[in-house]
Amino acid sequence: MPRNPQLNANGELQHLLSIEGLPREVLVQILDTAESFAGVTERDIKKVPLLRGKSVFNLFFEPSTRTRTTFEIAAKRLSADVINLNVAASSQSKGESLLDTVANLSAMQADVFVVRHASSGAPYLIARYVKPHEHVINAGDGRHAHPTQGLLDLYTIRHYKKDFARLTVAVIGDVLHSRVARSLIHGLTTLGAPEVRVIAPLTLLPAGVEALGVRVCHDMREGLKDADVVMMLRLQNERMNGALLPSAQEFFMTYGLTAEKLALARPDAIVMHPGPMNRGVEIDSSVADGPHSVILPQVTFGIAVRMAVMSIVAGNR
């Protein structure tokens, strides 16, 4: 197996492509750095000069609002120049290849590429071809990984629960198609969370998911029992009626998070969701807006985490 392509020869983060394979120290470094940035976002002048003079290209081959916006804010707070490209609507539709698009942007003196792509592994391909001073940050690739989302989820959990060593985490919903679930699971197992459960019908679980280090439950009541953290996953509209699930209503009945089911978790449990939410499908409004919900703080933390990642991979040292 070749060397982990996200680390340089000194074991430092060159690109952020996946949480899998990152040493615990690197994860902790990112979370600690994010914590130091949390203050910046509350100041009057919300800027630090760590990326001054650098160009960050937001390269989204798949639509996104939240992730793209928080990356943009994070880069601007680091004083970088940010260029947003909605590639889905430009050169790719004219037949330009992924690597040609990247090569052209590289010729415009890019320093960081923030990449979202519908195909698993696309950021790895880009990372293989960029120049040594250029950095790739995966903003979600297919079903594979969404490492900054995973990191902001870890940040959120650490913020509210302090220690990973005694946590029970329940991840609920469409694990099969979820890059968010994969990234969070890798992060939790690396940081030593002893019990990670995935709760889903068999049709929404990938083959051999246990090998990721999780316990599989099909029953919400069993899976939620004494959980400290409940992570709900988004169910895409097109997967609600078909061969995977009969209907959104039945999914809500069996796997939707309601106050009644949440009562089985620990009294101080937190409820997370990567957004965008389908109220009444995977989560009931009373839970999404209720006292256990940390869904909006997740978004805020996302900015600090993305600042941390960009400053670590590309910051002026």
Partner 1 sequence: MKILIKGGRVVDPASGQDKLGDVFVSDGRIVDSFKDKPERTIDAKGLVVAPGLIDLSARLREPGYEYKATLESEMDAAVAGGVTSLACPPDTDPPLDEPGLVDMLRRRAKALARARVYPVGALTVKLQGARLTEMAELAAAGCVAFSQANTPIADTQVLWRALQYAATFGYPVWMRAVDLWLAKEGVAHDGEVATRLGLPGVPVFAETIALGTLLELVRATGTRLHVCRLSSAAAVALMRAAKKEGLPVSCDVGIHHVHLSDMDLGYFDSHCRLEPPLRSQRDREALAAALADGTIDCAVSDHTPVDEDQKQLPFAEAEPGATGLELLLPLTLKWGAERKLPLAKTLACVTSGAARVLGVPSGRIAAGAPADLVVFDPQAPFRVTPEALRSQGKNSPFLGYELAGRVHATLVAGNVVFEQE
Backbone angles phi, psi at 216, to 5 degrees: -95, 130
User: In the complex with partner 1, which residue's Cβ is closer, 206 or 297?
Assistant: 206
121 near partner 1 (CB under 8 A)? yes
3-state secondary structure of 236: coil
**Tokens describing residue 312:** 């670590």
x/- site string to partner 1, residues 151 to 180, per CB under 8 A? ----------------------------x-
Nearer to partner 1, 97 or 249 (CB): 97
- In the bound state with partner 1, the residue whose beta carbon lies nearer, of 121 and 201, is 121
User: Quick one: which segment of 118-126, 221-229, 264-272, 300-308 binds partner 1 (CB under 8 A)?
Assistant: 118-126
CB of 58 to partner 1, least distance (A): 19
Cα separation, 20 vs 121, in Å, equals: 13
Phi and psi at 68, nearest 5°, equal -65, -45
Of 119, 83, 120, 126, the residue nearest 103 (C-alpha): 126
The reply on whether position 201 binds partner 1 by CB under 8 A is: no
Nearest distance from C-beta of residue 211 to partner 1, angstroms: 4
Sites for partner 1 among residues 217-236 (CB under 8 A)? none
In the complex, the smallest distance separating the C-beta of residue 182 from partner 1, rounded to whole angstroms, is: 6
Residue 303: both structure tokens together: 């900015």
- The total of other beta-carbon atoms located within 10 Å of residue 201's CB is 16
Q: Of 132, 102, 133, which Cα lies nearest the Cα of 117?
A: 102
The continuous run of DSSP H or E covering 216 comes out as strand 215-217
In the complex, which residues of this chain contact partner 1 (CB under 8 A)? 1-2, 4-5, 20, 97-99, 117, 119-122, 124-125, 141-145, 179, 182, 206-209, 211-212
